[in-house]
Amino acid sequence: MCGIIGYIGKKQAYPILINGLKRLEYRGYDSAGVAVFNGDVHVYKRKGKVQDLIDFAKGKNIRGTMGIGHTRWATHGKPDDVNAHPHTSGNGRLTLIHNGIIENYALLQEALKKEGHTFESETDTEVLVHFIEELQKRDNLPIEEAVRVALSKVVGAYAIVVIDRDDPGKLVAARKASPLVIGIGEDEFFIASDPTPIAEFTQKVVFLNDEEIAVVTRGGDLQIKTIDNEIQTPFIQELDVKIEAMEKGGYEYFMLKEIYEQPKTVADCMRGRINATEGWIKVGGVDTCKDRIFDANRFIIAACGTSWHAGLIGEYLFEELARIPVEVEYASELRYRNPIINEKDVVIALSQSGETADTLAALELAKAKGALCYGIVNNVGSSIARMTHAGSYIHAGPEIGVASTKAFTGQLTLLSMMAIHLGYERGTIPRSYYLQLLEELENIPGKIETLLEKASDQIEYIAGEIKDASNALYLGRGYNFPIALEGALKLKEISYIHAEGYPAAEMKHGPIALIDENMPVIVIATNKSAYEKIVSNVQEVKARKGKIISIVKEGDTVIRNLSDYTIEIPDTDEPLTPLLSVVPLQLLSYQIALMRGCNVDQPRNLAKSVTVE
């Protein structure tokens, strides 16, 4: 939520900032702004997309080798030019960008008003920059010290970068609960919310920790202190991010590219972790804390959104294959209950970004209660990856479309591997079934590829038939129930059609009242178990004249004959079905959103990484 970028070095800052903002735009697109320094600080900011900012700044004074930029997802104050970042202090000396929420901003603002400060915007960020100015003025502090003292009095979440016009050889950055990474180049530094704007310049990075303040100096070095004034040694890491992974590569939208990348990303997730021929499976993170995982009383899976849907499938997998009791929790609910968690529990957090505020907070709570915390994360070096005791990356590469696709199948792949591994080691599945699942898992990338090749025209056709619906119902049973939820979420978030996912049998308990000839009902009916039951559910929809779109396994004739439209997926073992059955639903939502003229990658009101509550 909100993307921030800073540059200091020998190059012109503006193109680097704009390019960085484009890469970070998935984090928020309510407004964009930059500040460049060339003797004085020049701020340009505009409501809307980065392109609106580019148009606005054309022909203006944008030269300078130091600057900061911001792309906003509005929290405090409407999306407009005034509330856009950067924000400037009252005396014009300080310019600041911010991602996060300053929770005690109202109190601070009250006190500042008494000191004569006036405010132009409705943002918490403007209060913060005035507060830093006030402390700087009062005690004649260098900027980094004023930032440190200010942040020690602030409640909330922040990633900030500040320019001091009167001390222009440096940028000061700090973070708490919002991500920040510093890129170290040749005589230059980059600061950003994630590595994507940095990777094309340098692969050497330092991920800032919570409550750390970094100072990067022109021609100098990187210094890090904590808010408690303790000097820290920067831990430099090498990135492995390829530029192509951050480009659309000829696709119209990132989401489409990411859907089509899935044969590769699922294979990447398994690479080096399983070998069906030799009959082994290794999930490094599990092995590092094997005893606690094997002896766990239960798993608690905490996540949000699409990752929560993956968690529900994890519940089916772990319970069926490894016979471990599982609870799946919305991270936002778990953190505000008083849950019973102890050292015999393993809390698994699922998160593409690794930065979701609620998931992080739930993990912190679980950690404090003594549970083993395990992270299943995509973004390397992210907060969840660093704060958990152990974990596994899904290796899906940067996911830029706001609607999660390849990260979801990556999470499913990882959960499947863990469940198969644990099931075999705990003796809850026989070797023959274990080997069969390994072999089938290795076949999944090829099957996704076949499915995409065979079904895409049919999916586009069906999209055209239902694109004008106002509502849609998604039904599934067993492993396909969470897929129904995920299909509905995909449709609503990018096409703005209201959609609900239900366990198919629950339909009779209410939603059936909604079904008429205008209601598309998408039935995910690839199950081998309870097949007859789902046939009955389809009959019930048909009797109410619902428009039935069924997802079936190849060769199915019974449900096909009852359906208006059918999409076939390759056959596989039931626990692995979600890896295939979700793909046509991703593509269906994409096609519908496209036909409705929606911005698929940047749906309204959303942001990719939800770093505020």
Across-strand partners of 392?
376
Residue span binding ligand M6R (CB under 6 A) among the ranges 120-128, 397-405, 463-471, 546-554: 397-405
Separation of CA 257 from chain center: 17
Residues carrying an active site annotation: 2, 608
List, in sequence order, every beta strand (DSSP E) within 325-381: 326-330, 345-351, 372-377
Asked if residue 88 binds ligand M6R (CB under 6 A), the reply is: no
Nearer of residues 99 and 352 to ligand M6R, judged by Cβ: 352
Nearer of residues 402 and 515 to ligand M6R, judged by Cβ: 402
- What mask of x and - would describe binding to ligand M6R in positions 458 to 497, judged by CB under 6 A? -----------------------------------x----
At its nearest, how many Å lie between ligand M6R and the CB of residue 609? 6
Report whether 123 contacts 87 (CB < 8 A).
Answer: yes
Asked if residue 67 binds ligand M6R (CB under 6 A), the reply is: no
Asked if residue 423 binds ligand M6R (CB under 6 A), the reply is: no
Asked if residue 382 binds ligand M6R (CB under 6 A), the reply is: no
At its nearest, how many Å lie between ligand M6R and the CB of residue 97? 22
Q: How far is CA 219 from CA 36, 169, 186, 190, 235, in A?
A: 18, 9, 9, 13, 20
Asked if residue 388 binds ligand M6R (CB under 6 A), the reply is: no
Q: How far is CA 107 from CA 131, 135, 246, in A?
A: 11, 16, 41
At its nearest, how many Å lie between ligand M6R and the CB of residue 64? 34
At its nearest, how many Å lie between ligand M6R and the CB of residue 607? 8
Nearer of residues 109 and 359 to ligand M6R, judged by Cβ: 359
**Nearest of 501, 496, 520 to residue 600 by alpha carbon:** 496
Across-strand partners of 122?
none
Give the 3-state secondary structure of residue 206: strand
Report whether 174 contacts 212 (CB < 8 A).
Answer: yes
Nearer of residues 156 and 179 to ligand M6R, judged by Cβ: 179
Asked if residue 304 binds ligand M6R (CB under 6 A), the reply is: yes
At its nearest, how many Å lie between ligand M6R and the CB of residue 336? 17
* Residue 147 token pair: 């930032």
Helix and strand numbers (H, E) in the chain are: 19, 27
Report whether 563 contacts 549 (CB < 8 A).
Answer: yes
Nearer of residues 359 and 388 to ligand M6R, judged by Cβ: 359
Asked if residue 402 binds ligand M6R (CB under 6 A), the reply is: yes
Residue span binding ligand M6R (CB under 6 A) among the ranges 52-60, 188-196, 301-309, 438-446: 301-309
Nearer of residues 1 and 35 to ligand M6R, judged by Cβ: 1
d(C-alpha 84, C-alpha 47), whole Å: 7
Taking CB atoms, the residue at the shortest distance from ligand M6R is 305
* Residue 99 token pair: 């991602």
At its nearest, how many Å lie between ligand M6R and the CB of residue 396? 11
At its nearest, how many Å lie between ligand M6R and the CB of residue 598? 14
Residue span binding ligand M6R (CB under 6 A) among the ranges 65-73, 189-197, 302-310, 421-429: 302-310
d(C-alpha 97, C-alpha 301), whole Å: 34
Q: Is 186 exposed, middle or buried (0-12, 13-18, 19+ CB in 10 A)?
A: exposed
Asked if residue 601 binds ligand M6R (CB under 6 A), the reply is: no
Q: Out of 306, 388, 526, 591, which residue is the one contacting ligand M6R (CB under 6 A)?
A: 306
Residue span binding ligand M6R (CB under 6 A) among the ranges 169-177, 322-330, 402-410, 528-536: 402-410
Report whether 129 contacts 96 (CB < 8 A).
Answer: yes
**Nearest of 308, 277, 319 to residue 575 by alpha carbon:** 319
Residues 6+ apart with CB under 8 A from 430: none
Asked if residue 610 binds ligand M6R (CB under 6 A), the reply is: yes
Nearer of residues 123 and 586 to ligand M6R, judged by Cβ: 586
Give the 3-state secondary structure of residue 47: strand
List, in sequence order, every beta strand (DSSP E) within 212-295: 212-217, 222-226, 231-232, 237-238, 274-275, 280-281
Nearer of residues 493 and 500 to ligand M6R, judged by Cβ: 493
Nearer of residues 57 and 241 to ligand M6R, judged by Cβ: 241
Q: Is 298 exposed, middle or buried (0-12, 13-18, 19+ CB in 10 A)?
A: middle
Asked if residue 307 binds ligand M6R (CB under 6 A), the reply is: yes
Interface with ligand M6R in residues 337-356 (CB under 6 A): 351-353, 356
Nearer of residues 315 and 440 to ligand M6R, judged by Cβ: 315
Asked if residue 125 binds ligand M6R (CB under 6 A), the reply is: no
Strands 390-393 and 31-37: what pairing?
Answer: unpaired
Asked if residue 583 binds ligand M6R (CB under 6 A), the reply is: no
Q: Out of 6, 90, 156, 305, which residue is the one contacting ligand M6R (CB under 6 A)?
A: 305
Indicate the helix (H) or strand (E) that contains 162: strand 156-164
Asked if residue 359 binds ligand M6R (CB under 6 A), the reply is: yes
Asked if residue 399 binds ligand M6R (CB under 6 A), the reply is: no
For 7, phi then psi, to 5°, come to -145, 140
Report whether 41 contacts 95 (CB < 8 A).
Answer: yes
d(C-alpha 182, C-alpha 164), whole Å: 19
Q: Which residues in this chain contact ligand M6R in the complex, by CB under 6 A?
A: 304-307, 351-353, 356, 359, 402-404, 493, 606, 609-610
